[in-house]
Amino acid sequence: MGKTLFDKIWDSHVVRSVEGGPDVLYIDRHLIHEVTSPVAFLNLERRGLQVFRPGQTVATPDHNVPTEGQDLPIGEELSRHQVEMLSRNCEKHGIPLYGLNHPWHGIVHVIGPELGITQPGMTIVCGDSHTSTHGAFGAVAFGIGTSEVEMVLASQCILQPKPRRMRITIDGRLGPGVTAKDIALYIISKISTSGGTGHFIEYAGSAIRALTMEGRMTLCNLSIESGARGGMIAPDETTFAYIRGREFAPQGDAWEKALAYWKTLKSDEDAVFDSEYRFLAEDIEPMITYGTNPGMGITVSGHVPLLEEVAVAERDNFLKSLEYMGFRPGEPVAGKKVDYVFVGSCTNGRIEDLRAFAALVKGKVKASGVTVWIVPGSKQVEKAAREEGLAQMLEAAGFVLRQPGCSACLAMNDDKIPEGKYAVSTSNRNFEGRQGPGARTLLASPLTAAAAAIMGVITDPRILMEGS
C-alpha cells in the first residue's frame, strides 16, 4: 500500500520507535523565540548540557516586542528581560539570532520561509502553535511545548506519537475577493476546532495548487485551529521557484540534488488517509468569525446562526460567546461598527497581504472612527512595502506601517484592543481576551480588513473591488 507524503517524511526521520510509546523523531530545523525558550535553556543549563546542534537552530524575538521605536530599549520590563535572555542564550550556545533591527528580523514563521530556511521534506518545530505554517513547503512542521523545546535543544530529537493522516481536497477556482484565509476559516467552520484533533492534514486539489506560497502559508498556519497537529501541501514548481536563490537555499550542485529529492515528495496514488474531506472552491466566500473560537465563522454577507441551527450540545457555549461579543442569534454582521483593524501576524503579515490591503484602499481614505495597525511580518516585508510604494500609498489613505512583531495577535506587547471594542483582525485566534481583556475579535482576510478600515463597518470586500 502506498504512503502519504506525511508518512514518507515522518518515517524517514524516526530514529527509534519506543515500544508501546512514541517515536523518537529527528528534527531538521528548530526555530526559537523569546517566550517559550528561556525556561528550556535554564533547565538545560541545570543539567550541565550544551545545545546539541546550534547550527540547526534559528532564533528571533517576536511575541513580546514593541512595534514602534524598535531602535530604543524596550520599555516594558518583563518583555525586555525575555528578549535579553534570548540574546544571552543564543550567544552562549552559538545560535544564529536575528534580533530587533537586524535586516532579517521578524515573526519566526515569516522569516523561516523568507530566508530559505524552511525546505520541503524537513521536520521543523518551534515552541509556538502556528509552526504548522512551514507545512506549506511540504515539510512536517508543528508546534511544541517548552519541555519539548528543551528536548530538541539537548538532543535534536523529540518524543512524539505519530498522528493520523487527514486529507482535505479543494477543487475548483476561488471567486474574486476570496483568499486563502477564507478557505481556512471555511474549513474550520465545517469541521470545527476539534475536527482535526489527532491528525496531520494534507491539503490537495486544484484550488490549493493555484495558491501562491504565501497563500499556502496562510492556509497551513490555521491548521492548528481545527485541532490538527499540523498541515502540509506537497511541493511543486511554485514551491521550488519561491525557494530558489534565497539566503539559505541550497546552491549549485546541492540545489540540483535537493530538487531531485523534493520532486519525489508527494502522496502515492494508492495511499490511504485515515480521514478525508472534500470541498468546492466555488462554495467559499469571504469569511468572518462572529464568536470566540476560530470555528465560529460565517460569510461576511451572512448572519449569525439561529439557535436552532446550532447543535444542542454546543448551545450553551454559543450563547455565552454571543454575550461576550455583543451579537444576537440570526442577525447579520455586515454593517456592524468596527473600532480597530489589525493587519499582520504569522497568518497574514506578508507582502502579498499588504499588497491586497493597499490595492483595496488605494484612492480611498481610512474611516474616521477606526484605529488601524498595519504590522509587517518582518523587516524584509517592511522594506519591500516601502520599495513598492505601498507605505506611501497607505500613508496617503491615513494608515501607518508599524514595525515587525506578533503585536496585537496575542497582545503580549502594548498593542492591545481595549475592552468591548470590535477589531477586525487578520490573525488566527479570537478567544475571549486574546487581543486584550474584553476585546472582541473578528477574524478575517486582509481584503475584508481593508473594507472595514475604509467603511468603518463590517463590509464584504467584493463590494469595494474594481469591476464588481
Partner 1 sequence: MAYEKFTTLISTGVPLKSENVDTDQIIPARFLKAVERKGFGDNLFRDWRYDREGLPKAEFVLNDARYSGKILVAGKNFGSGSSREHAAWALYDYGFRVVVSSFFADIFRNNALNNGLLPVVVPPLFLGKIFAAIGHDAATLFRVDLPQQLFTIVGSGESVPFEINMYKKECLMKGLDDIDYLLSMKGEIREFEKRGQ
User: Does residue 82 interact with partner 1 by CB under 8 A?
Assistant: yes
Q: Which is nearer to partner 1, 29 or 434 (CB)?
A: 434
- The grid cell for 367 is 474611516
Question: Among residues 25, 266, 23, 295, which one has the least CA distance to residue 167?
Answer: 266
User: Does residue 87 interact with partner 1 by CB under 8 A?
Assistant: no
Q: Which is nearer to partner 1, 143 or 405 (CB)?
A: 143
Q: Which stretch binds partner 1 (CB under 8 A): 17-25, 270-278, 279-287, 384-392?
A: 17-25
- The grid cell for 197 is 484533533
Of positions 95, 410, 449, 450, contacts partner 1 by CB under 8 A: 410
User: Does residue 334 interact with partner 1 by CB under 8 A?
Assistant: no
Which residue type is seen at 255?
W
Q: Which is nearer to partner 1, 197 or 275 (CB)?
A: 197
Q: Which residue has the cell 487578520?
A: 426
Of positions 57, 60, 79, 289, contacts partner 1 by CB under 8 A: 79
User: Does residue 151 interact with partner 1 by CB under 8 A?
Assistant: yes
Question: Among residues 130, 31, 53, which one has the least CA distance to residue 427?
Answer: 130
User: Does residue 159 interact with partner 1 by CB under 8 A?
Assistant: yes
User: Does residue 47 interact with partner 1 by CB under 8 A?
Assistant: yes
User: Measured from the CB of residue 282, what is the shortest distance to partner 1 in angstroms?
Assistant: 31
Secondary structure letter of residue 106 according to DSSP = B
3-state secondary structure of 332: strand
User: Does residue 193 interact with partner 1 by CB under 8 A?
Assistant: yes
Alpha-carbon distances of 449 from 28, 183, 423, 443, rounded to whole Å:
36, 16, 9, 9
**Rounded to the nearest 5 degrees, what angle is found at the Cα of 32, between the Cα atoms of 384 and 247?**
40
Of positions 147, 206, 264, 468, contacts partner 1 by CB under 8 A: 147
CA distance 203 to 92: 40
428: alpha, beta or left, given left = phi > 0 and alpha = psi -120 to 50?
alpha
**How much of the chain is helix, strand and coil, in % rounded to 5?**
35, 15, 45
Binding mask 336-365 for partner 1 (x = CB under 8 A): ------------------------------
CA distance 289 to 273: 29
CA distance 132 to 40: 21
- The grid cell for 125 is 518545530
Q: Which is nearer to partner 1, 80 or 362 (CB)?
A: 80
Q: Which stretch binds partner 1 (CB under 8 A): 113-121, 222-230, 299-307, 349-357?
A: 222-230
User: Does residue 133 interact with partner 1 by CB under 8 A?
Assistant: no
User: Does residue 70 interact with partner 1 by CB under 8 A?
Assistant: no
User: Does residue 57 interact with partner 1 by CB under 8 A?
Assistant: no
Dihedrals phi, psi of 358, to nearest 5 degrees: -65, -40
Of positions 70, 146, 169, 301, contacts partner 1 by CB under 8 A: 146
Q: Which residue has the cell 500500500?
A: 1
User: Does residue 156 interact with partner 1 by CB under 8 A?
Assistant: yes
Of the CA atoms within 13 Å of residue 82, those in its CB half-sphere come to 23
Of positions 2, 16, 254, 332, contacts partner 1 by CB under 8 A: 16
User: Measured from the CB of residue 43, what is the shortest distance to partner 1 in angstroms?
Assistant: 8
Dihedrals phi, psi of 345, to nearest 5 degrees: 85, 170
User: Measured from the CB of residue 2, what is the shortest distance to partner 1 in angstroms?
Assistant: 23
CA distance 4 to 101: 41
Q: Which stretch binds partner 1 (CB under 8 A): 31-39, 179-187, 282-290, 450-458?
A: 31-39
Count of CB atoms within 10 A of residue 75's CB?
A: 11
Of positions 2, 45, 78, 389, contacts partner 1 by CB under 8 A: 78
CA distance 248 to 226: 32
Question: Among residues 279, 417, 272, 292, which one has the least CA distance to residue 344?
Answer: 417
Of positions 139, 144, 385, 458, contacts partner 1 by CB under 8 A: 144
User: Does residue 324 interact with partner 1 by CB under 8 A?
Assistant: no
Is the Cβ–Cβ distance between 292 and 431 less than 8 Å? Answer: yes
User: Measured from the CB of residue 108, what is the shortest distance to partner 1 in angstroms?
Assistant: 13
User: Measured from the CB of residue 21, what is the shortest distance to partner 1 in angstroms?
Assistant: 3
Q: Within 437-466, which residues bind partner 1 (CB under 8 A)?
A: 437
Of positions 1, 19, 73, 387, contacts partner 1 by CB under 8 A: 19
- The grid cell for 140 is 512536517
**Contacting residues toward partner 1, per CB under 8 A:** 15-16, 18-22, 24, 26, 35-36, 38-39, 42-43, 47, 49, 63-64, 78-79, 81-82, 85, 127-129, 143-148, 150-151, 154-157, 159-161, 163, 193-194, 197-198, 224, 227, 229, 293, 316-317, 410-412, 429, 431-434, 437
